[in-house]
Structure 1
Amino acid sequence: MAFPGLQHVAITVSDIGRSTEWYTRLLGAEPVLTEDEEGGEFHHVVYALDGGSLFGLHTHMGKESKDRADERRTGLDHISFGLSGTAELEQWRDKLDSLGIQHGGIKKAHYGSGISFRDPDNIALEFFIAPGT
């Protein structure tokens, strides 16, 4: 039996309004859903990504720690968005520049190439291409 692919990723953010604005600009799309969970435990904003995956932002009704993300703590290290090749990677570099989002430039390694950047809560994100693409 094959292990299934990811259906969605959800991250906790400290300021849902700020993060919704930031991710809407980055993704170039409006959320497909924004609602309180029926039990009242959290509010989520969800985006549909190409390929059928969903990307969600959660706030836990003021109970989140407000700490900035740190990949050295146990938990999330980073989220990587897959691209098809160098030209697309360069386009995303240019889009990050146009949005004023700081990044580390295109880095090349034997396992692939990517651009790393961070969201308003310091969550590490990257655009990535496999080697030879």
Structure 2
Amino acid sequence: MSQMSSFPGLTHVAITVSDLPASTAWYTALFGSAPVLDEDEESGTFHHTVFSLDGGMLFGLHTHPDSGTPARFDERQVGLDHIAFQCSPDALPGWVERLDALGIEHGGIKNAHYGSGISFRDPDNIALEFFAPPVSTS
């Protein structure tokens, strides 16, 4: 068996949305940038709109032409619970201001021993968070 390095980080996250134009506009405002890709996937089984985030991370919005009636997201179901965007503790107040300016409801800054975060939801009710790990004092 070959030697493996540490477990690799994430390169992208893709979520399924019910209204691609509305979600694209919402995420464009949140990210402050336009998508870098907007196309039907070559197999024709889904359409994806992809944003490029800091650190080389990609964030995709998908629609599936063969899907039935869309349901609202519920983290209590098996699957995704939430997506957290990393930031520093000092950046959290700025994200509160940004969410307020965009009219996006949020829970304010919550602090815990494992870090601090701001929880909010997208148009499909998908749970999102700005998360700041605790500052190391060592």
TM superposition score category, shorter chain reference? over 0.9
Check whether the contact 1:45–1:56 (CA below 8 A) recurs between aligned residues: yes
Residues in 2 aligned to 1:62 and 1:99: alpha-carbon distance in whole angstroms: 32
2:52 corresponds to: 48
Aligned alpha-carbon RMSD (Å): 1.1
Check whether the contact 1:14–1:64 (CA below 8 A) recurs between aligned residues: no
The CA deviation at 1:132 is 2.3
1:65-76 matched pairs, under 5 angstroms:
65-76=69-80
2:29 corresponds, among 2, 25, 29, to 25
Check whether the contact 1:12–1:64 (CA below 8 A) recurs between aligned residues: no
TM-score after normalising by structure 1: 0.96
Moved over 3 A (4+): none
1:130 corresponds, among 124, 129, 133, to 133
1:116 corresponds, among 88, 101, 119, to 119
- Structure with higher Rg: it is 2
Q: 1:16-57 CA distances to partner (integer Å, 9 max, x unpaired)?
A: 011000000000000000000111110000000000010000
Residues in 2 aligned to 1:47 and 1:69: alpha-carbon distance in whole angstroms: 21
TM-score after normalising by structure 2: 0.92
- Percent of aligned positions with the same letter in both sequences? 65
Structure 1: gaps (5+ residues): none
Q: 1:65-98 CA distances to partner (integer Å, 9 max, x unpaired)?
A: 410000000000000000022x211100100000
2:11 corresponds to: 7
